Amino acid sequence: MPSSYSQHLELPWVEKYRPKKLDDIVGNEETVERLKLIALDGNMPHMILSGLPGIGKTTSIHCLAYELLGPELYHQATMELNASDDRGIDVVRNKIKQFAQTKIQLPAGRHKIIILDEADSMTPGAQQALRRTMEIYSNTTRFAFACNQSSKIIEPLQSRCAILRYNKLSDEQVLQRLLEITKLEDVKYNSEGLQALIFTAEGDMRQAINNLQSTVAGFGFVNDVNVFKIVDQPHPLIIRKILSYCCSKDGQGVDNALQLLDSLWDKGYSAIDIVTSTFKVAKTLPGINEQKRLDMIKEIGFAHMRILEGVSTYLQLCGLYSKLCEL
């Protein structure tokens, strides 16, 4: 491994450490086991993989295609269309049909694979046009749809596919992968830095690895302060301090909380950043009973809703923290 950072800037780490085989995929063990059985059997059904961003849906399909077709045929017999490509009715009628009609010598029982990433952003018209294509060419071509919400895929396509759901990755799984990468890249870090990466990624592996690389590029050392500067979120310790002032019994609680809020606001953090961090911290705030935690989350939820509707003012946050002090 080259030691200096500049020498291995060829690929982003997300691509560099993208799993090549189904065995390398982290998390969602049950779903990955099903894919391994399909790889062994060789007969891949049409599939919809749904789940949050950055948890391995597209990677899983590529690994499955690689294992089904082998390294030589993989590039020839797979076609990927992403949300960034035009995927209206014309593309379905021309590009997809053309690929489905192409003759490629494949081993017995293997099929060409068309991967439609971010399929939930395809127009309903284009999805309708796919119905017939999927049926006509199903003996030579199989479709795999990756999407964040399977409900945005029209019912007729859903009924033609096996639906696999992906869950958010656990903190342990993200940590395990980050530790592997820090070892391979010889990254200097402390445990608070890794905790911060996990806290900000919220189960999104891609986000965690990108934030790790950005922190190394920007500061060279991965600690919590550097990570929160990179992801541009308020430090949870400050938010925790604000919430503990809100929960304190002395008469200065609200003044102290608003003083800290002022310091965050002056640094340029937006209302949405502050309220989402407040929610994340409130979920795990120690030393308060369940009922109080639920009341806090309810108030934070109302403020979050109003901010998303466009009322993202400083006053909105002051109102939130004074309500929390009242509780």
Q: Is-same-fold flag (28-165; 236-326)?
A: no
For 100-128, the three-class secondary structure string (H helix, E strand, C coil) is HHCCCCCCCCCCEEEEECCHHHCCHHHHH
pLDDT digits (tens, 9 = 90+) for 20-29: 999 999 989 9
Mean pLDDT of the chain: 88
pLDDT, mean of residues 270-281 = 91
pLDDT digits (tens, 9 = 90+) for 232-259: 888 888 999 999 988 887 778 888 899 9
pLDDT digits (tens, 9 = 90+) for 175-234: 999 999 999 999 899 999 999 999 888 889 999 999 999 999 989 899 988 998 888 888
pLDDT, mean of residues 286-293 = 86
For 96, counting Cβ atoms within 10 Å of its Cβ (0-12 exposed, 13-18 middle, 19+ buried), the class is buried
The pLDDT score that the predictor gives to residue 209 is 93
pLDDT digits (tens, 9 = 90+) for 127-138: 888 888 888 898
Helix (H), strand (E) at residue 80: strand 78-81
**What is the number of other CB atoms lying within 10 angstroms of the CB of residue 269?**
18
Question: pLDDT grade, residue 274 (50/70/90)?
Answer: very high
The pLDDT score that the predictor gives to residue 83 is 74
In this structure, what DSSP letter does residue 5 have?
Answer: G
The pLDDT score that the predictor gives to residue 3 is 46
SS3 content of the chain, % helix, strand, coil (to 5): 60, 10, 30
pLDDT surpassing 60 at residue 7: no
Domain 5-11+170-231 has CATH 1.10.8.60: yes
pLDDT, mean of residues 137-150 = 91
Nearest to 157 by CA among 186, 137, 180, 133: 133
The pLDDT score that the predictor gives to residue 173 is 92
pLDDT, mean of residues 91-110 = 85
The pLDDT score that the predictor gives to residue 47 is 93
pLDDT surpassing 80 at residue 110: yes
- Ordered by start, the domain boundaries in the chain are 5-11+170-231, 28-165, 236-326
pLDDT, mean of residues 1-26 = 75
Q: What is the CATH number of domain 236-326?
A: 1.20.272.10
Domain 28-165 has CATH 3.40.50.300: yes
How far apart CA 57 and CA 62 sit, in angstroms, is 9
pLDDT digits (tens, 9 = 90+) for 52-77: 999 999 999 999 999 999 888 898 99
